[in-house]
Amino acid sequence: MPDAELDAAVPPSDATPDSGSETAPDVTPEAWSGVHRGPLRAGEWVRLLDQKGRRHNFELVPGKRFFSNRGHLEHDELIGREEGFTVTSSAGGEYLVFRPLLSEFVVSMPRGAAVVYPKDAAQIVAMADIFPGAHVVEAGVGSGALTCSLLRAVGPHGKVTSYERREEFADVARRNVTQFFGGEHPAWDLRLGDLAEALPASGERCDRIILDMLAPWECLDAAADALLPGGIVCAYVATTTQLSRFVETVRIHGGFTEPQPWESLVRDWHVEGLAVRPGHKMIGHTAFLVTARRMAPGQRPPLKKRRPAPGAYGPDYTGPRPAGVPIEAAEGE
């Protein structure tokens, strides 16, 4: 039985009986949200924030101690309490205690490969239009960070098929995703293999395809064959050269709408009395995103009326060349 079902079926024996909790009962396992309500239980992960803003994540184990530079805390002091409290360590340090949110879990979980950052996972869910009940295909699964967001968005009645060509990464992802949801999510199908070969071989059709890998253009034909008309392909690429190659490959394929590339920048703000200003630090770059919609079989998007920018496809350009775009002479030749 998955842990989440156990959680719901067995009341925590160490819960404070007279805590007077007014929160709703724990989220049912059928919701598959990865969220738990009610008192903290042994085996769950907690996130402690110290007075300097440092984060500490650990699993609650009865009888165990958490050590920091401000002494220690007994796990038993935390187990059985409603999250959202301040606890004081043996040397007087104060810590805020909550269960980690999904966005906090994915940046602290063990990693096999670089993860999709929460700001980008949010963009993918919104702009690739991931909906409850959708059938989404993704590759590669890496550490399983994006997988958690996709599974949350499609819900237990959707389907996420994740392809990963490296077994060691697939193992890390399986552990992370299973830990987050508290059991094996019923909508998740993790497959070992290269999407470019394994997806066509499966004969699977889907609503959305998310490609987070070094060479997403190598998977475009497979994605085009699997996507239903109106479906969306979305690529997450770290560099401008990858972005260019993917966009031009989508264009020359012809069975997709004009690709839409963008990036998102998120900046914290410092708000204190009259000192209201942008924060000093921000994540300057994660990756670029591109989406395009699949046309119906045999259909092509209308021809573009606007000419490419001067020099865009000049002699220095070596990537895929859209049909009808000649090699322009370089300026001055």
222 contacts ligand SAM (rule: CB under 6 A): no
Torsion-angle region of 44 (φ positive above 0: left; ψ -120 to 50: alpha; else: beta): beta
Distinct helix (H) and strand (E) counts, the chain? 9, 15
Q: Which is nearer to ligand SAM, 136 or 141 (CB)?
A: 141
212 contacts ligand SAM (rule: CB under 6 A): yes
Instruction: Please select the residue that binds ligand SAM; options are 79, 139, 237, 247, rule is CB under 6 A.
Output: 139
Length of the chain: 333
287 contacts ligand SAM (rule: CB under 6 A): no
Round to whole Å and give the CA distance between 183 and 3: 5
Q: How far is CA 236 from CA 124, 147, 210, 256, 333, in A?
A: 9, 14, 8, 17, 38
163 contacts ligand SAM (rule: CB under 6 A): yes
Question: Which residues on neighbouring strands pair with residue 237, listed in sequence order?
Answer: 288
Round to whole Å and give the CA distance between 32 and 39: 19
Q: Which is nearer to ligand SAM, 102 or 325 (CB)?
A: 102
- Helices (H), ranges, the chain: 3-9, 75-78, 102-108, 118-127, 145-154, 167-181, 195-202, 220-226, 240-253
239 contacts ligand SAM (rule: CB under 6 A): no
Q: Which is nearer to ligand SAM, 86 or 240 (CB)?
A: 240
Instruction: Please select the residue that binds ligand SAM; options are 219, 226, 233, 243, rule is CB under 6 A.
Output: 219
Instruction: Please select the residue that binds ligand SAM; options are 64, 70, 81, 166, rule is CB under 6 A.
Output: 166
Q: How far is the CB of 180 from ligand SAM (least distance, A)?
A: 12
Q: Which is nearer to ligand SAM, 74 or 194 (CB)?
A: 194
Where on the chain is the footprint of ligand SAM (CB under 6 A)?
113-116, 139-146, 163-166, 169, 194-196, 212-214, 219
